[in-house]
Structure 1
Amino acid sequence: MLQAIGLTSSPRRDLSPAVDDLTFDARPGCVTALLGPSGSGKTTALRLMLELEPGRGVTYFRGRPLHRIAHPAGEVGVLLGDVAGHPSRTLRSQLRMLCAAVGVPGTKADEMLDAVGLTGLHDQRVGTLSRGMDRRLGLACALLGDPHTLLLDEPVAGLSARESAWLHEFLRAHAAAGGTVLFTTADPKEAARNADRVVTVKSGRLVADQDVTEFARTRLRPRVAVRTPHAARLAAAVTQEARAARRSVEVVTESGNRLSVYGSDCSAIGETAFRHGVLIHRLADEVGDTCSAGSSEPARPVTGPVAARAGAEAGSRPDVSGSGQESAPLAVRRPARAPLRPLRYEIRRLLGVPSTPLVVAATLAASVLISVLLARSGRTPVPTVLAGWPGLSPLPPAALGAGLLGAFSFGDEYRYPALTTGRGAVPRRLGLLLAKLAVAAAVAVFLAVVVVVADLEAVRLVYGGDLIPVPENWPTLCASWLGLIIGCAWAGVLGAGVFRVAAAGVAAVLAVPIALVPVLHLVLAGPSGRSIAGLPTRLRRFVSLEWPIEADRWLMGAIRVLAQPVGVALTLALTGLLCAYLFTGFRRKARW
Structure 2
Amino acid sequence: MLQAIGLTSTPRRDRPPAVDDLTFEARPGAVTALLGPRGSGKTTALRLMLELEPGRGITYFRGRPLHRVAHPPREVGVLLGDVPGHPSRTLRGQLRMLCAATGVPAARAEELVRTVGLTGLERRRIGTLPIGADRRLGLASALLGAPHTLLLDEPAAGLSVPESGWLYELLRAHAAEGGTVLYTTDDPKDAARNADRVVTLEGGRLVADQDAVEFARTRLRPRVVVRTPHAARLAAAVTQEARAARRAVEVVAEDGNRLSVYGSDCAAVGDTAFRHGVPVHRLAEERGGEGGAGAGRGRGGAGQARRTQEGEEPAKPASPAVEPASGGAEREATGRRRGAARRPARSPLRPLRYELHRLVGVPSTPLVVAGVLLVSVTLALLLGRGGRAELPAVLAGWPAISPLPPAALGAGLIGAFSFGEEYRYPALTSGRGAVPRRPGLLLAKLTVAAAVALALGVLVVAVDLEALRFVYGGQLVPVPKNWPTLSASWLGLTVGCAWAGVLGAGVFRAAAAGVAAVLAVPVALVPLLQKVLTGPSVRSAAGLPARLREFAGPQWSPALDRWLAGVLRVVGQPAGVALSLALTGLLCAYVFTGLRRKARW
TM norm. shorter chain > 0.5: yes
Which segment is superposed worse, 415-424 or 440-449? 415-424
Query: What SS does structure 2 have at the residue aligned with 1:201?
Result: strand
Look up the match of 2:339.
Answer: none
Which amino acid letter does the alignment assign opposite residue 304 of structure 2? R
Q: Which residue of 2 aligns with 1:97?
A: 97
Once residues 281 and 478 of structure 2 are traced to their aligned partners in structure 1, the CA distance between those partners, rounded to angstroms, is: 93
Aligned counterpart, 1:373: 382
Question: Aligned residue for 1:84?
Answer: 84
Q: Is the 8 A contact 2:63 2:321 kept in 1?
A: no
User: Match of 1:452, SS?
Assistant: helix
2:260 counterpart SS class: strand
Give the match for residue 166 of structure 2.
166
User: How big is the shift at 1:274?
Assistant: 2.9
2:587 aligned residue: 578
Distance in 1 of aligned mates of 2:286 and 2:403: 70
Alignment of structure 1 residues 108-257 onto 2, 5 Å: 108-228=108-228, 230-231=230-231, 234-235=234-235, 250-254=249-253
CA distance in 2, matches of 1:430, 1:222: 56
CA deviation digits over 1:37-89, x for unaligned, max 9?
A: 11112112111211222222221111111121111111111111111211111
Which of 554, 560, 563 aligns to 2:569? It is: 560
Q: What amino acid is aligned across from residue 298 of structure 1 in structure 2?
A: A
2:484 alignment counterpart: 475
Name the counterpart of 1:460.
Answer: 469
User: Aligned pair in 2 of structure 1 residues 306, 72: CA closer, same or farther (>3 Å)?
Assistant: farther
User: Unaligned 5+ residue runs, structure 1?
Assistant: 317-336
Tell me, yes or no, if structure 1 residue 387 matches structure 2 residue 386. Answer: no
Q: Provide TM-score, normalisation by structure 2.
A: 0.87
What's the counterpart of residue 29 of structure 1?
A: 29
Q: Note closer, same or farther for the CA distance 1:420–1:189 as it changes in structure 2 (3 Å cut).
A: same
**What SS does structure 1 have at the residue aligned with 2:3?**
strand
Q: Is 1:298 matched with 2:305?
A: no
Corresponding residue for residue 509 of structure 1: 518
141-150 or 264-273, larger mean C-alpha shift: 264-273
Indicate if the aligned counterparts of 1:151 and 1:182 stay in contact, CA closer than 8 A: yes
Q: Where do 1:428-577 residues align within 5 Å?
A: 428-525=437-534, 530=540, 532-533=542-543, 535=545, 538-577=547-586
- Deviation string 1:557-580 (CA, Å, 9 cap, x unpaired) is 111111111111111111111111
The equivalences for 1:263-412 within 5 A come to 264-266=264-266, 269-289=269-289, 290=291, 291-292=294-295, 298-301=302-305, 307=314, 309-310=316-317, 313=319, 341-412=350-421
% identical aligned pairs: 72
User: Relative to 1, partners in 2 of residues 1:378 and 1:8: Cα closer, same or farther, differing over 3 Å?
Assistant: closer
**Which stretch of the first structure deviates more once superposed, 424-433 or 136-145?**
424-433
Distance 1:459 1:20, change over 3 A: same
CA drift of 1:261 comes to 2.8
AA aligned opposite 1:434: L
* SS of alignment partner, residue 150 of structure 2: strand
Q: Deviations over 1:499-539 (max 9, x none)?
A: 11111111111111111222222223358875655835x44
Q: Against the structure 1 CA distance between its residues 563 and 286, is the aligned structure 2 distance closer, same or farther, given a 3 Å change threshold?
A: same
In the alignment, is the contact (CA less than 8 A) between 2:72 and 2:431 conserved in 1? no
Looking at structure 1, the residues matched to 233 and 378 of structure 2 have their Cα atoms a distance apart, in angstroms, of: 87
Give the TM-score, by structure 1 length. 0.89
Question: Equivalents in 2 of 1:314, 1:436: separation in Å?
Answer: 39
Q: Does the CA contact (< 8 Å) of 2:438 and 2:595 recur in 1?
A: no
What is the DSSP-based 3-state SS (H/G/I as helix, E as strand, rest coil) of the residue aligned with 1:32? strand
Matched residue type, 2:251: V
How far is 1:227 from its partner? Answer: 3.6
Deviation at 1:251, TM superposition (A): 4.3
Query: Which has the higher mean CA deviation after the structures are superposed, 94-103 or 283-292?
Result: 283-292
Kindly provide the amino acid, as one letter, of the partner of residue 300 in structure 1.
Q
* Distance of 1:258 and 1:280 partners within structure 2: 10
Deviations 1:234-254 (A, max 9, x none): 45655788899x997734243
- In the TM superposition, residue 279 of structure 1 has moved relative to its aligned partner by 2.5
Q: Label 1:231 to 1:350 Cα distance change in 2 as closer, same or farther (>3 A).
A: closer
Residue equivalent to 1:50: 50
1:324 corresponding residue in structure 2:
none
Quote how far apart the aligned CAs of 1:493 are. 0.9
Q: Cα distance 1:585–1:243, how it changes in 2: closer, same or farther (>3 A)?
A: closer
SS at match of 1:524: helix
Q: Which residue of 2 aligns with 1:8?
A: 8
Q: 1:253 to 1:559 in 2, by over 3 A?
A: closer
Structure 1's 20 and 459: CA in aligned 2 closer, same or farther, altered over 3 A?
same
Please give the secondary structure, in 2, of the residue aligned with 1:583. Answer: helix
> Relative to structure 1, is the Cα distance of residues 472 and 241 closer, same or farther in structure 2, using a 3 angstrom cutoff?
closer
Q: What do residues 10-49 of structure 1 show as CA deviations (whole Å, max 9, x unaligned)?
A: 2333322222222211111111111111111211211121
Structure 2: how far apart are the matches of 1:232 and 1:580?
A: 65
Change (3 A) 1:268 1:474: same
CA change 1:533–1:208 in 2 (3 A) is: same
Partner of 2:336: none
Structure 1 534/46 Cα, relative in aligned 2: closer, same or farther at 3 Å? closer
Cα distance between partner residues in 2 of 1:306 and 1:265: 31
CA drift of 1:228 comes to 3.6
Distance 2:404 2:418 in 1: 20
* Equivalent residue pairs, number: 567
CA contact (8 A) 2:101 2:351 kept: yes
Pair 428,251 (structure 1): closer, same or farther in 2 beyond 3 Å: closer
Is contact 2:116–2:136 with CA below 8 Å preserved after alignment? yes
Aligned twin of 2:329? none
- Residue number in structure 2 paired with 1:322: none
